[in-house]
Amino acid sequence: MTHSRAENIGMQTTKRQEHKLTNLIKYIYPHKSLKVATKSTEAVTVVNLSSKELSEDTVSVLSRGLNFAPTPRRIPVEDIITNIENTIFRNKIPHGDADCLRQDVSTLLRKSPLPKSNITLKEVSALRELRNDESLLVLPADKGNATVVVDTEAYEHKITQMVGDTSVYRKVRYNPTSRVTTKVNKLLNIIGDKELVARLRPLNPTPPKIYGRTTLPTSYVESITYCLKSGYFLWRGDFYLQIDGVAMGSPLAPVVANIFMEWFEEKALESANVKPRYWWRYVDDIFAVVARDALKDLTSHLNRVHAKIEVTIEEEKEGKLPFLDVLVIREPNGRVTHSVYRKPTHTDRYLRADSHHHPSHLSSVPRTLLNRALALCDHDYVNAELRHVRDVLERNGYQWRKCRRFLGSAGEARKRPAEAERTPAYFPYVQGVTDKIVDIVEHVEAVKLEDMEVIDLVDLGDVVDLEDTLKLE
């Protein structure tokens, strides 16, 4: 298969998926007239499913992404001073050195100007209006990194319908937090590992919100079982207990899902009349090579293994089949090659270069994309992918001449600094200020620094990015 043919097939597939998306939006929101942009023009990064029209400034600021951090409107002096004092205390810095440290930081804070704003005053005003509009909700899309605006009433109706499913959720008449905390503490006392218990013991529990021997120790089994059966959440003043499945976002979810899928595939493959030639699985995504005439029977067999598991099949089309973020391509000569796969709904939106993040966070974007291109693409496809990465990076505000330097280090494991016995120091990140504070504090040999981006944005309170600014559900 030639590269041009592969591109044509990809464009045809994209058009089909975009047509399906347009029809789906029209079906769910018949009152809205939405234009879905194509990959040939500009990807959809903000999808307005609400009954209100959004201003250009609102769309402009939301299109930067919910992880975009506006520059602060003031330097968080109180937070910095508090953290300096905490650093001095925790690292037992001598009195004389501590006074010099305080004086140097105080002088720096008095003289430091604010970094240049990365959003306009109109966009700041649009953010405030959107935040104060209780009839609208801003949400991250489940896939593709788009930003979705919906009516609060419609969103709450959907959630109410969901929690009304009595086969999955049960409404309880009391706040389970106190009872769960007591039970967790009892289970922790059984474990006996003091260091582990100290990390796991709940200090200020609050109700979660919806968005020799080879046997396992009994205490662990009991603890895990309780975690799986005590999942509850608060929704509009009512408490609900999840009685089936594992909550989305739970740290246990991927582990339990993988354990279940191991059992599922072992049982399914052992009892299958026709077995796949190859079978690879990543959690619940499976890539298999099966004889065409046996595919229907195998699918029916897999769907009989467990009453609540339905397996859907995506067949190879024109010699191409996606698996996770890899596009597997079978050439006419039988050779199997691969490239990067992106879903038609993918927006190619990443953390923007002008976001008020630490430089190490910003540099991770080009490094990750370049690493992926070189790791997943065969020789025939790597140049096309690198051209796409360059275009994407430039659209997200990055300069290619600075990004291409990561090509030389792509694939190399990043060296982690040696662990020190000293206590880390944490500071809010303010461009041009935190960097100098780091230099000052690092002169004190007893301290090791780790920067954190806890910043004050657009006079809207202590928030980090647009997601926190808008107080998303």
- The single residue listed with the structure tokens 């596009």 is 327
408: Cα separation from own chain's centroid = 27
Give the pLDDT of the chain (473 residues) as one tens digit per residue.
444 555 555 555 555 555 555 555 554 444 444 444 333 334 578 889 899 999 999 999 999 988 898 988 888 888 888 888 888 888 788 888 888 889 999 999 989 898 899 999 999 999 899 989 999 989 888 777 888 899 999 888 888 888 888 888 888 888 888 888 888 777 777 766 666 666 666 656 666 666 533 344 556 677 777 777 777 777 878 888 887 888 777 788 888 888 889 999 999 999 988 889 999 999 889 999 999 889 899 999 999 999 888 888 899 998 999 999 999 999 888 889 999 999 888 899 999 999 999 888 999 999 999 999 999 999 999 999 999 999 999 999 999 988 988 886 655 555 555 554 556 777 888 888 888 888 888 777 555 554 443 333 323 233 346 665 554 44
Residue-level pLDDT at 228: 78
Residue-level pLDDT at 304: 92
Euclidean distance between the first and final Cα of the chain, in Å? 46
Residue-level pLDDT at 364: 92
Residue-level pLDDT at 360: 87
Helix (H) or strand (E) holding 322: strand 320-323
Dist CA 350 CA 64 (whole Å): 8
Angle between helix 95-111 and helix 434-442 axes, rounded to 10 deg: 160
Dist CA 181 CA 87 (whole Å): 32
Provide the pairing of β-strand 336-340 with 147-151.
Answer: unpaired
Dist CA 10 CA 18 (whole Å): 12
Q: Are 92 and 446 in contact (CB under 8 A)?
A: yes
Residue-level pLDDT at 31: 46
Angle between helix 434-442 and helix 77-90 axes, rounded to 10 deg: 20
Dist CA 139 CA 348 (whole Å): 18
**Does the global pTM surpass 0.85?**
no
Following DSSP, what letter does each residue of 123-149 receive, concatenated? HHHHHHHHHH-TTEEEEE-SSTT-EEE
Following DSSP, what letter does each residue of 229-272 receive, concatenated? H--EEEETTEEEEE-SS--TT-TTHHHHHHHHHHHHHHHHHHH-
Residue-level pLDDT at 398: 95
Best CA proximity match to 104, nearest among 454, 471, 436, 457: 436
Amino acid letter, 292: R
Residue-level pLDDT at 327: 94
Dist CA 187 CA 171 (whole Å): 25
Residue-level pLDDT at 367: 93
Helix (H) or strand (E) holding 22: helix 3-28
Residue-level pLDDT at 240: 80
